[in-house]
Amino acid sequence: MAEQKTDQGPKYYAQSAEDVLKQFQSTAQGLSDAEIQKRLEKYGPNALAEGKRKTKIQRFFDQFKDFMIIVLLVAAVISGAVAQEWADALIILAVVLINAFMGVIQESKAEEAIDALKEMATPEARVRRNNAVSSVSSEKLVPGDIVLLEAGDVVPADLRLIEAASLKIEEAALTGESVPVEKDLNATIAEDAPLGDRANMAYMNSNVTYGRGVGVVVGTGMHTQVGQIAGMLNSAKENSTPLQDNLNSLGKTLTILILIIAAIMFVVGFARGEASWIDMLLVSISLAVAAIPEGLPAIVTIILALGTQKMAKRSALVRKLPAVETLGSTDIIASDKTGTLTMNQMTVEKVYTNGQLQEASADIATDNTTLRVMTMSNDTQIQTDGKLLGDPTETALVQYGFDHEFNVSDVVAGEPRVAEVPFDSERKLMTTVHQLADGKLFVAVKGAPDQLLKRVTQIEKDGQSVPADDAAKQTILEVNTSLAKNALRVLAMAYKFIDTLPDEISSDSLENDLIFSGLVGMIDPERPEAKDAVAKAKSAGIRPIMITGDHQVTAEAIAVRLGIVEPGHDEAVITGAELDDMDEKTFDEKVDQYSVYARVSPEHKVRIVSAWQAKGKVVAMTGDGVNDAPALKSADIGIGMGITGTEVSKGASDMVLADDNFATIVVAVEEGRKVFANIQKSIQYLLSANLGEVLTLFMMTLMGWDILKPVQLLWINLVTDTFPAIALGVEPTEPGIMDRKPRGRNSNFFSGGVASSVLYQGILEGLLTLGVYLWAINFPVHTTQAEIHADALTMAYATLGLIQLFHAFNVKSIHQSLFSIHPFANRAFNLSILGSFILLGATIAIPGFNSLFHVTTLNLVQWSAVLTAGIAILVIVEIVKFVQRRMGRE
């Protein structure tokens, strides 16, 4: 008996039906009950295997694998157990727990894609067993079973067809091809034929749209094409996003720097003999705790969450928080064609009638015979609500009639069909006969132009029939070729009148002496907004790539129309078969040459995404079919379609477009870039503030001065770090953000001048704070040393807090002047600064807080010194920015 194999095993489509039946020890009459039971035990049920599922508890603990989170947990332990700063420890733990809970809530479950695949399986299948037809659960199908198919069925397993009568199967979810595939048992199929060209196969979860067929099961469960996709989803590696990489890198860098500074501080202080080693250890730990931006994970999470809300209002639904920022760093958008860049709906685009080629939008007379033939030689069912059911090509023809005020329903009712010769793949024609009111019969024929012209003797022109000579037929064929080169699917229309029905209804008796009336060119058209979206993506430095299962000519034509490739650049187009002939090294070298991939499989899509990622590019992959799911999961950000997308593709995605609008991706990219820029601002603000605190403490210790108390540092971090940093996360988009090139995978939060800004601004904050402390010592208000030092420490505390609030205005833009970016446009920011100022000032100005925060009451002169230091940082940073701009740094 033949073993079940994947695509790498026997090529059943390249073998005869008889040979396949022999391999599976089956016959057209079906298997016996005893044999079925044996095979069920051997192969198992026709169901998809589940990946290993994680419990909610496991997902919760997964959140603590992040390096920054580990650093914060260590800091919490040190703060509480060693430094006895339990308030610090509790705040850090609270931040970590909130971050973990939000991560569990926001992250999508990987097994959703597999669940969706399982739900797609048809519950019943019509089979022939023991030479009798019955319905069984699709899970009970076994290799060798004989399955019967008809229009409306979902294919229950992978089948090698052994009978087919006008059979058409819609395989878009697997191949990306927009038109149902016409099955042909007589076709000779090469072993390397892509899935979309295997005309004698039917694949699990595809849909029968026309005709009927019989097939032998050659693959069940995980050994089907859909099963292979499920396996790829189960084994797909979860890629970390650029945001996660940056946060991990930042955490490691900060930890190393903080430990070095704390160690130096401990060694120098202990060597000077100013304190015991225990006291110096506590001071060093206090400095380390002050240096760690414990609120950063929570702030980043909040900024991302706010970004998801804004994107949701613009039809981009984010399923994983880091995806918001990832879009902003995207270099490549690898997009599926069908349903994403195109409408996934066949539409009439050109009509050739009366010797003239016209656009589908042009007027056409309701008595035009081309219009009549296309709507009468048609099996589309018109529902009472106006919905059209049937083959997409035929529904497009009927829709064209409705769009031109041709009442198809009334015409069909008034001129009923009395006979027909159904379409078949050999003659490629369909004929219907209609009874007219005058007693005559109208014969309507549509089909392939080359086949139909063989049966034409006259051509209609301007309402008259003229002989169809070779020159006239050649003209029609040239129009047909021109339309086909533009990726249009062309059908020819012809007709004749007869007095009575022939004795035998057949092709020979009806499809002769026809009058040619016209050609109709159809296509799955590009979305109206897609061309502008592609142009905007290019202007933002993002390269759009089309990946489709459709034919090369169609794919290239759509790509040219969208502006993805320039006309005549055939070298930018490659097929799946050509990709198979290319080794990894060659493809890696040439990947940036190709912008269109046609007739590709799911494995190809993953390979293309991986090749770009190997070049350090951040790749976004869009798609709506089952065949897109593995690549959606492998990409840095998978973008599913909310309307036309399968549940499988949505389950594998990081983001779903609620409106299936490619242009929404560009909107999401802009929001992603803004989110990253705002996270950069928050990090710049937090790190420069913490560097100022570290420098202040470090210098105070080295100089033997009094140092700020832990409660003072805690309060400064609480009121001046968190609220302004979050408010910076909702800053409006800076002008020109979509004119910049993508920052790419190798960039980080310190790119674009942030690192140098953090350094000099943090040092400046520390120096200004120490300057105020020295001023207070040298120009005292009181006379006793205790009071002088208490005032100086209070002024240093007030300055360190207030200077950070002033500095928040500097951080609104790295290089642009504060006064050119509407400094008070962000209402949340204004309120956060005001609130932080009140909370900071209250600890000094309100009686009763003095002893709690170890501060004294300051007079007007002392407050003036504090305010001067705060304003000074604004002025100095603005001067530095001005110099940077003059030097060409933007």
What's the pLDDT tens digit per position in 181-199? 889 888 888 888 888 889 9
Across the chain, mean pLDDT equals 83
| Segment 613-656, tens digit of pLDDT | 989 899 998 877 676 778 888 888 888 887 767 666 777 788 88
Cα–Cα distance between 100 and 18 in angstroms, integer? 59
**CA 832 to each of CA 204, 494, 711, 799: distance values in angstroms, whole numbers, following the listed order:** 57, 75, 21, 18
Instruction: Give the least confident one: 8-12, 486-490, 556-560, 733-737.
Output: 8-12
| Alpha helices in 653-741, H assignment, sequence order | 662-703, 710-716, 723-728
pLDDT for residue 842 is more than 60 = yes
Q: Contact 243/120 with Cβ under 8 angstroms?
A: no
Which residue is associated with the tokens 């140098």? Answer: 756
pTM, 2 dp: 0.67
CA distances 758 to 330, 473, 599, 769, 851, Å, are 26, 76, 51, 16, 34
Which pair of tokens denotes residue 179?
């038109």
Per-residue pLDDT band for 720 (boundaries 50, 70, 90) equals confident
Using pLDDT thresholds of 50, 70 and 90, give the confidence band for residue 671: confident
Q: How many CB atoms lie within 10 A of CB 284?
A: 25
Pairing of strands 347-353, 132-137: unpaired
Give the confidence band of 180 by pLDDT, cuts at 50, 70, 90. Answer: confident
Name the band, by pLDDT with cuts 50, 70 and 90, for residue 118: very low
Q: Are 708 and 796 in contact (CB under 8 A)?
A: yes
The CATH number of 318-343+527-660 is which of 3.90.420.10, 3.40.190.10, 3.40.50.1000, 3.90.230.10? 3.40.50.1000
The CATH code that applies to domain 347-523 is 3.40.1110.10
The three-state secondary structure class of 530 is helix
Dist CA 632 CA 863 (whole Å): 58
Nearest residue to 106 via CA among 311, 242, 313, 304:
304
Q: Is 170 helix (H, G, I), strand (E, B) or coil?
A: strand
Residues of the chain with pLDDT > 70, as a percent, come to 84
As a whole number of angstroms, the distance between CA 126 and CA 142 comes to 13
Domain ranges of the chain: 12-51+115-235, 253-309+672-736+748-886, 318-343+527-660, 347-523
- Alpha carbons 468 and 476: distance in angstroms, whole number: 10
Secondary structure of residue 168 in the 3-state scheme: strand
Distance CA 181, CA 196 (A): 8
124-149 per-position pLDDT tens digit = 889 999 888 888 988 899 999 999 99
Closest CA to 639 of 652, 627, 647: 652
CA nearest neighbour of 300 among 60, 104, 68: 68
Cross-strand bridge partners of residue 467: 458
Q: How far is CA 65 from the centre of its chain?
A: 26
pLDDT at 103: 55
Specify whether the CB–CB gap between 662 and 316 falls below 8 A: no
Identify the pLDDT of residue 251: 67
3-state class percentages of the chain: helix first, strand second, coil last, to nearest 5: 50, 15, 30
Asked if 826 contacts 731 with a C-beta cutoff of 8 angstroms, the reply is: yes
Structure-token pair, residue 788:
């002088």
Average pLDDT rounded to a whole number, residues 70-80: 64
Instruction: Give yes or no for residue 239 having a pLDDT over 70.
Output: no
pLDDT of residue 578: 92
* Fold entry, domain 12-51+115-235: 2.70.150
Q: Which H or E run contains 535? A: helix 530-539
Q: How far apart are CA 375 and CA 380, in angstroms?
A: 9
Task: Name 422's Cβ contacts closer than 8 Å, sequence gap at least 6.
Answer: 166, 430
Work out the pLDDT band at 209, boundaries 50, 70, 90. Answer: confident
Mean pLDDT within 4-20? 76
Average pLDDT over residues 839-852: 84
**Confidence at 106, pLDDT banded by 50, 70, 90:** very low
Helix (H, G, I), strand (E, B) or coil at 169: strand
Cα distance between residue 12 and residue 5, in whole Å: 10
Determine the angle formed by the axes of helices 242-271 and 67-77, rounding to 10 degrees: 30
Kindly name the residue from 88, 336, 379, 628 that is annotated as catalytic: 336
pLDDT at 110: 35
The bridge status of strand 332-336 relative to strand 543-547 is: parallel
pLDDT of residue 247: 67
Spatial neighbors of 272 by CB under 8 A, at least 6 apart, are 704
The C-alpha atoms of residue 401 and residue 372 are separated, in whole angstroms, by: 8
- C-alpha distance from residue 418 to each of 442, 443, 498, 503 (Å): 10, 10, 13, 13
Any catalytic annotation for residue 438?
no
Q: Say how far apart CA 631 and CA 594 lie, in whole Å.
A: 17
List the end-to-end C-alpha distance of the chain, in Å, as a whole number.
70
pLDDT of residue 543: 94
Which distant-in-sequence residues (6+ apart) come within 8 Å of 364 by Cβ? 351, 353, 358, 370, 371, 404
User: Residue 202, SS3?
Assistant: strand
- What CA–CA distance (Å, rounded) separates 326 from 295? 21
Q: What would the 3-class secondary structure string for 621-676 be?
A: EEECCHHHHHHHHHCCEEEEECCCCCHHHHHCCCEEECCCCHHHHHHHHHHHHHHH
Percent of residues, the chain, with pLDDT higher than 90: 34
Q: Give kind and range of the element (H or E) at residue 358.
A: strand 356-359
**pLDDT of 409 above 90:** no
Query: 253-309+672-736+748-886 — its CATH code?
Result: 1.20.1110.10
Alpha carbons 695 and 688: distance in angstroms, whole number: 10
Q: Return phi, psi of residue 864, to 5°.
A: -60, -40
Structure tokens at 560: 């040219």
Could you list the beta-strand ranges (E) of 130-170: 132-137, 146-150, 158-170
pLDDT at 889 (0 to 100) = 60
Q: Residue with structure tokens 């794919």? A: 555
